[in-house]
Structure 1
Amino acid sequence: MVGVRRRDLRARMELLAAAGLETHDFLFEAAELLDRAMGVEFLCAASTDPATGLVTASVGTRPIELCDSEFTRYENADPADLNRLAELAVRPNPVGVLALESAGDPARSLRYREFLRPRFDFEHELRCVCRVSEVGWGAFGMYRAGGATGFGEDDATEIAALGPVIASGIRRGLLTGPVSTAPELTGPAVLVVDADDTVSAMTPDASAVLARLRPPSSGVVFGPIADAVAAVRFPGRRAAARVRAVTGEWWVVRAAPLTGAPPGAVAVTFERPGVVDLLSLVVAACGLTARERAVVDLVLRGRSTAEIARALHLSAYTVQDHLKAIFAKTGVRSRRELVARLRPPEPLGVDTN
């Protein structure tokens, strides 16, 4: 253990989660904090779309040769594999230690036999899905090499208490910072991923979107794309995710199989989100009530306080109380700021008149 005492870990993580960092920055700082406290060889952390569970951003604490498409392939190849994130996500306690899951025989896991041990010499794995009110916002895994001390039940208990704290930091970060204006698309933004996870074709607009979405050090088939492709090849999840670009704007990434193409080919599209896409994300991230969502929906339609009151059979004072609660939860100070956060700016170059 270096730099952070284990007994201070939760308090430090709570401060970090409340610091108002954007999601990618929070993930990086949270991963570094866990890494120093837990004394691991490698730790990776990701945010996920709460509606689909697909990866939206990811970070790692060490520069290892880890291909996102290879990771997702092994993660999904065997539905009965041990310590899978999809299985942890639906457990009452969403934390798993591979040694405990396998009764001391991690070689029972396909991921361990063919990926973790031969590629990285990782012997020990602890994973956690980060949830708040049963909604998943991210996940992380930590690894130690062969010969190192493994993870035990005490580690799992400690990490389980941190999961909701990390989830709160992730969802708070989704709404941090201004929503920037997306570039105008002149045509469909589509790329084709072949069975070997290489990109065989791409439209010019897809290339432009990727330049804004993709972290500088990652390949073309990086986290969100790799996970969307895996959702098509290994059915069970909806192949769509709302992803915030490093440049600030939101995109919806979708994947679908191709007919008439070589087996395994998948088309990936990038679209600007609609108001409903962002509204549902904000409702989940901020914990808005059904009534508060109804008020927000009418605000986005340009209705006045009096009109909202009549539509919802409320007094104007009650509507104002709902608005105050909405402003506090979403971190804005006015209707104008609320609309700006939930209504994606018009693309650059588009005449709105």
Structure 2
Amino acid sequence: MNRDRLRRTRADIVRLADDGLDWVTFSTQASEILSRLVPFQRSCWHTVDPWTVLLTGSLNQNIDYSGSWLATHEYVLDDVNKWWFLARSGRQAGATSLATHGDLSRSARHRSREAYGIGDELRGSFVADGTYWAAASFLRDEGEPWFTEEDVRLLASLCEPIAVGFRRALLATAVTTEHPRDDGPGVVMFDEYGDPESISPAAERWIEEMIEVPPPPVPAASKMVQVVAARARAFGAGHDSVEVSARSRVQTRSGSWLLLYGTRLSGGADGRTAVIIQPATPNEVAPLVALAYGLSDRECQVTQLCLQGQSTKQMAQMLGVSPYTVQDHLKSIFDKTGVRSRGELVGRVFLEDYALRWEEHPVCLA
């Protein structure tokens, strides 16, 4: 592979990440750029909740699969190159042909779609500064050459700038108007086999706002809802390979946020689950916004104290550092978030009610 082509491709993606695009537009244009370097016929892209590694948005190009298929093959069945594993392992990219030593039939994912004329698959998990933001698959049709080790290395080398593009897209689609919250929580019920039993009108309305391209055939088939339900079922069965909860924060088309969480139900048939959908509170979103701005762990701590109204002296005492160090952290925070004062930080970036309670979350890839 010509190194100049790789440098140009990386430069194109870096420029694209700087354009302030929403993630669907960014993904669509990134696909075009990548296909010139590593050809493929089909692709899918997903945003990810960094703490629970659940998928929160979906863009399919020339390929279609159901939410239940995605949930089962990514979070339930054993297989090679699961996105969360590529992210956590640090490999970030992998091809099915290489992982199965040339026997594609060893992959459950491949076996399930072989009849549709799909051949090899190249997968990427996009991590920046230790945080997992998105995932994608690039597929070749049956009969096309398999992906090579060089193809895997090329994608791995581009994962970081792609992750930055997704991280910035989260900020580019910040809420401009408050979404009416009179719908209240919605609920989707699943039977013991994972098939939807019922759905509330509020859940249908919330699902319509999620970013899925193309949209699900029916609301209960939403990929975002199905993956949360699958995680809840796995918890009940004592199989939690990712060791995270059945919950995710999903950004809507308007830039507002929803909280999805799943639970197994007692009584009746074993294995029944429910997924509850409701507007996310500011304190549930604030840590994610801090990550998107690229704040370090210490800067997140200083930001939290700043939002609580602590003085520089008080912050220094609580953190065991000098006031000058706190000032240095604040300067860095202001530079990263594009503000000039604590008042702007509270009012324009995080909003005042984000300071009510900042939950402590473990960063999955730290």
Q: TM-score range by the shorter chain?
A: 0.7 to 0.9
Equivalent residue, structure 2, for 1:351: none
In structure 1, the residue matched to 2:139 is 143
- Can you give the 5+ residue segments of structure 1 that lack an aligned partner in the other structure? 347-353
Q: Distance in 1 between matches of 2:277 and 2:76?
A: 26
- Distance 1:26-1:327 versus aligned 2 partners, 3 A rule: farther
Amino acid at match of 1:288: L
Distance 2:97 2:214 in 1: 32
Aligned to 2:364: none
Tell me the residue number matched to 1:50. 50
Q: CA deviation at 1:188?
A: 3.2
Distance of aligned partners of 1:135 and 1:257 in 2 relative to their CA distance in 1, 3 Å threshold: same
For 1:100 and 1:153, locate their aligned partners in 2 and report how far apart those are by CA, in whole Å. 8
Aligned to 1:155: 151
2:350 corresponding residue in structure 1: 342
- Secondary structure of the corresponding residue to residue 114 of structure 2: helix
Structure 2: distance between partners of 1:272 and 1:67: 25
1:200 lines up with 2:208 in the alignment: no
Aligned-residue offset at 1:320: 4.8
Q: Give 1:326's aligned residue.
A: 333
Tell whether the 8 Å contact from 2:94 to 2:123 is kept in structure 1 after alignment: yes
Where does residue 248 of structure 2 map in the other structure? 241
Alpha-carbon RMSD across the aligned residues, in angstroms, is: 2.8
Note closer, same or farther for the CA distance 1:28–1:266 as it changes in structure 2 (3 Å cut).
farther
Contact 2:186 2:277 in 1 (8 A): yes
What is the aligned length?
Answer: 338
**Distance in 2 of aligned mates of 1:336 and 1:216:** 38
Q: Answer yes or no: is 1:213 the counterpart of 2:210.
A: yes
Q: Which range is displaced more, 320-329 or 155-164?
A: 320-329
In 1, the alpha carbon distance for the partners of 2:338 and 2:231 equals 33
8 Å CA contact 2:57–2:212 kept in 1: the answer is no
- Which residue is 2:102 aligned to? 104
Secondary structure at the aligned position of 1:175 is classed as helix
| SS of alignment partner, residue 253 of structure 2 | coil
Q: Deviations along 1:188-232, whole A, 9 cap, x unmatched?
A: 322213356554323333233223225474112323212211212
Amino acid across the alignment from 1:95: A
Deviation at 1:308, TM superposition (A): 5.0
Query: Any stretches of 5+ residues in structure 2 without a counterpart?
Result: 355-366
Shift of 1:18: 2.0
The amino acid across from 1:141 in the alignment is S
Contact 2:261 2:275 in 1 (8 A): yes
Q: Post-superposition shift, 1:322?
A: 3.0
Aligned partner of 1:349 in structure 2 is none
* 1:74 to 1:38, Cα distance in 2 relative to 1, 3 A: same
Distance 1:88-1:205 versus aligned 2 partners, 3 A rule: same
Aligned to 2:15: 15
**TM-score, normalised with respect to structure 1:** 0.84
5 Å matches for 1:141-290? 141-179=137-175, 180-185=177-182, 187-195=184-192, 197-215=194-212, 217-219=214-216, 220=219, 221-234=221-234, 235-236=239-240, 237=242, 238-290=245-297
C-alpha displacement of 1:334: 4.6
Letter in structure 2 aligned against 1:88 = L
Query: How much identity, in percent, do the aligned residues show?
Result: 33
Q: Secondary structure at the match of 2:333?
A: helix
